[in-house]
Structure 1
Amino acid sequence: MSGSETGPGPAAGPGSGVRLVVVHPDKEVLAQAAAARLLTRILDVQSVRSPVHVVLTGGTVGIASLAAVAASPLVPAVDWSGVHLWWGDERFLPDGDPDRNETQARQALLDDLVVNHGLPAANVHPMPGPTSVATPEEGAAVYAAQLAEHAPAGAATPVPAFDVLLLGMGPDGHVASLFPGHDGLAAQGTTAGVHGSPKPPPERVSLTFDAIRSAREVWIVAAGAEKAGQVAAALAGEPVTKVPAAGAVGQARTLWLLDAEAAGAKK
């Protein structure tokens, strides 16, 4: 993996572990490196326990990373029958809509894993949309129940023991569908229905900060000069109400995976 690292250092936030910032020269290398890192992490976890729970993200770099996973020679080394895949948020759109994170992820990687590499279809856990539920709140409740079914006994937060939780970050500093100054930032429980999103479409379903912060590792993947200001603000510990990404921290480790532009490197 090509890139420069800074850290380790403490990550801001409750229950946070070590924070590491890894800078790659461009978004293409970032996607390739994130894919290699994810596959290696899954293999490392599978050497000591099963199942592995991974939370996926959408966005340009997130989907490019999944496509890079699909092309990796490491794919057959993973026991995909022991991997469960979840999402951090989803647009409240019908099944199969091209703007759904799930649809894009299936096209980039998941359909191939199911058909050719033994990933059980039941291990793919998409967030419900209007095909099956009437409102984002109902979708959030259904997803919360699914998460709870896979939570360890006695877990403080009723979600699976997420080994890796991937997040993109928007130019406004949002992660999942948790936007600056939005009511969803204070949502209780593990999931929330979102209305009035400043980024279309207005209706969404999202994990809450409680769910995100329960993950063993949180990886924030960001590329582009338009994100540099919010990356710097989040790393400086700006309030979550202004920069939601500042509140996305893992129990053991928080990784910021950046390209040079998002890291604010001078050309």
Structure 2
Amino acid sequence: MTTDRRVLVHPDKDSLAGAVAARFITKIIDILDEYDEAHVVLSGGSVNTAVLAAIKNSPAQNNVDWHRISFWWGDERFVEASSADRNDLQAREALLNHIPVDEAKIHAFASTDQIADIDEAAADYARQLDEAAPDGARYPRFDIMFLGVGPDGHIASLFPGLAGIRETEKTVVSVLNSPKPPPLRLSLTLPVIQSADRIWLVMAGADKASPLGLALAGASIEEVPAAGAQGRKRTVFFVDKDAAAEVPESLIAPSY
């Protein structure tokens, strides 16, 4: 897969979150100038949640037509809806509850309160993707997909060595044995992730330096799933200085 990949380094987590927020607002306005609607995939984790909070706090977010944006998630912890582990709950508290987005366009994974069986929950999300897809497709055109990267190199809930990273037919998989708690999760599959026009991986901390370095060096996707995170148009690693410790200088792009 050919794609424009770049690494943008920021001094610390706060400046990283602010820069990604500003870039998102600018880019989503451009996208909405070109298309009638946009589809954005959100991620969990402290850094991505900080980005959402920075978007909320930016005066420029008032220039975004939020009614024309649909929000999705790359993965979710299969727990009760009120659990603090839920990615969608974190996103609502950080941003979605504070902007005029249509509730019908917030596509959260089912919680255990809503669907008790995890495989049925995976099938439910696959159905939502299918219903929002253009004719002949199985999922929407994703304009921007946010991803976090774990210290083990996982993206969404696709972990090294587990079956999910090898799935090519399903659009959504259930994860029963996540090495990171909670063990039950739901995740988009790699083909869906790679269908996104733009993938933005947001990473902070020294524990992300190794997986970032390996991903950029062409490590096996089976061993470092982040190596497979490549958007159709562009892939950007937004990182802080600590996470960039093992990135060759030649791969670090000038700031936007």
Q: Aligned partner of 2:148: which letter?
A: G
Q: Flag structure 2 segments of 5+ consecutive residues without an equivalent.
A: 248-256
1:253 aligned residue = 234
* Aligned counterpart, 1:233: 214
**1:1-267 superposed matches below 5 A:** 14=1, 16-113=2-99, 118-155=100-137, 158-187=138-167, 188-264=169-245
How many residue pairs match? The answer is 246
Aligned-residue RMSD, C-alpha: 1.2
Q: TM-score, normalising length from structure 2?
A: 0.94
Could you tell me how far apart the structure 2 residues matched to 1:142 and 1:105 are? 21
Q: What TM-score comes out, normalization by structure 1 length?
A: 0.90
The whole-number CA distance in structure 1 between the counterparts of 2:212 and 2:136 is: 35
Tell me, in whole angstroms, the C-alpha distance in 2 between the residues paired with 1:136 and 1:70: 32
Change (3 A) 1:21 1:253: same
In structure 2, C-alpha distance between the alignment counterparts of 1:79 and 1:210, rounded to whole Å: 29
Residue type at the aligned position of 2:108: P
Q: Tell me if the contact between 2:197 and 2:234 (Cα under 8 Å) persists in the aligned partners.
A: yes
Matched to 1:148, the amino acid is D
CA distance in 1, matches of 2:203, 2:160: 17
8 Å Cα contact 2:213/2:246 also seen in 1: no
User: Which consecutive residues of structure 1, in runs of 5 or more, have no partner in the other structure?
Assistant: 1-13
Q: CA deviation at 1:265?
A: 6.8
Question: What one-letter code is carried by the residue in structure 1 that aligns with 2:91?
Answer: A
1:85-135 Cα shifts (integer Å, max 9, x gaps): 00000000111211100111111111111xxxx211111110112111122
